[in-house]
């Protein structure tokens, strides 16, 4: 376990400090803000309603259940039991570049990663095969949000990887429930 945490810290420092550049510093903090992604959320709602009609309403409901479950489990089950300090709180000032407010909660697992992976992967599981480009875009979107958490200094890579895996698992379970619910 100690070796894994050492690798995690080294990867964190690579992304957080070694990848530092002006473009990332200007753009990446925005990538973790819900307001920045509001147009994407609206697009998803409109896309579901426009392309799937009545079924689209149910997809949106199940999508909300998926994200809510991911957020709840990440925060209540993992963060409150593991109690891993955020790197911006656990590391010395010379070991972390803090680019946003550190946050008062714990680090493991990342709610941002869990939520965005659950949303994107629920849609990936739900969309027919013909939506390959959209599925790839959704995967990139989730990865970008997760990467941003590490870059700004509020999560370790293991936090976002675990949050992402949690999100994918929850998305799979809810998509399976949706398919059983929706027979039409």
pLDDT, one tens digit per residue, over 28-61 is 999 988 889 899 999 999 999 999 999 999 999 9
Q: What is the pLDDT of residues 66-106, one digit of tens each?
A: 999 999 999 999 999 999 999 999 888 888 999 998 988 89
Residues 43/48/53/59 CA torsion (nearest 10 deg): -140
Where are the chain's structural domains?
A: 2-96+104-181
At 103 the pLDDT is: 82
At 150 the pLDDT is: 97
Q: What is the pLDDT of residues 16-36, one digit of tens each?
A: 999 999 999 999 999 988 889
At 33 the pLDDT is: 85
Contact between residue 182 and residue 55 where contact means Cβ atoms under 8 Å apart: yes
At 115 the pLDDT is: 96
At 62 the pLDDT is: 97
Measured between alpha carbons, how far is 172 from 184 in angstroms, rounded to an integer? 20
Q: What is the pTM of this model?
A: 0.92
Burial class (CB in 10 A: 0-12, 13-18, 19+), 143: middle
At 124 the pLDDT is: 97
At 26 the pLDDT is: 95
Contact between residue 22 and residue 170 where contact means Cβ atoms under 8 Å apart: no
Tell whether the model's pLDDT for residue 184 goes beyond 60. Answer: no
At 1 the pLDDT is: 82
């Amino acid at each position: 376990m100690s070796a894994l945490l050492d690798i995690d810290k080294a990867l964190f420092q690579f992304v957080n400090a070694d990848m530092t550049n002006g473009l990332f510093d200007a753009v990446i903090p925005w990538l973790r803000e819900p307001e920045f992604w509001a147009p994407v959320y609206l697009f998803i709602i409109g896309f579901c309603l426009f392309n799937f009609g009545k079924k689209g309403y149910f997809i949106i409901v199940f999508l909300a259940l998926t994200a809510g479950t991911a957020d709840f489990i990440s925060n209540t089950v993992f963060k409150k039991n593991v109690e891993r300090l955020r790197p911006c709180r656990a590391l010395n000032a010379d070991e972390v570049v803090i680019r946003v407010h550190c946050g008062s909660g714990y680090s493991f697992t990342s709610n941002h990663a869990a939520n965005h992976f659950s949303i994107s992967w629920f849609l990936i599981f739900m969309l027919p095969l013909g939506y390959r480009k959209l599925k790839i875009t959704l995967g990139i979107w989730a990865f970008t949000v997760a990467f941003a958490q590490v870059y700004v200094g509020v999560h370790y890579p293991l936090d976002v990887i675990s949050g992402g895996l949690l999100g994918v698992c929850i998305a799979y379970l809810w998509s399976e429930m949706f398919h059983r619910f929706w027979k039409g």
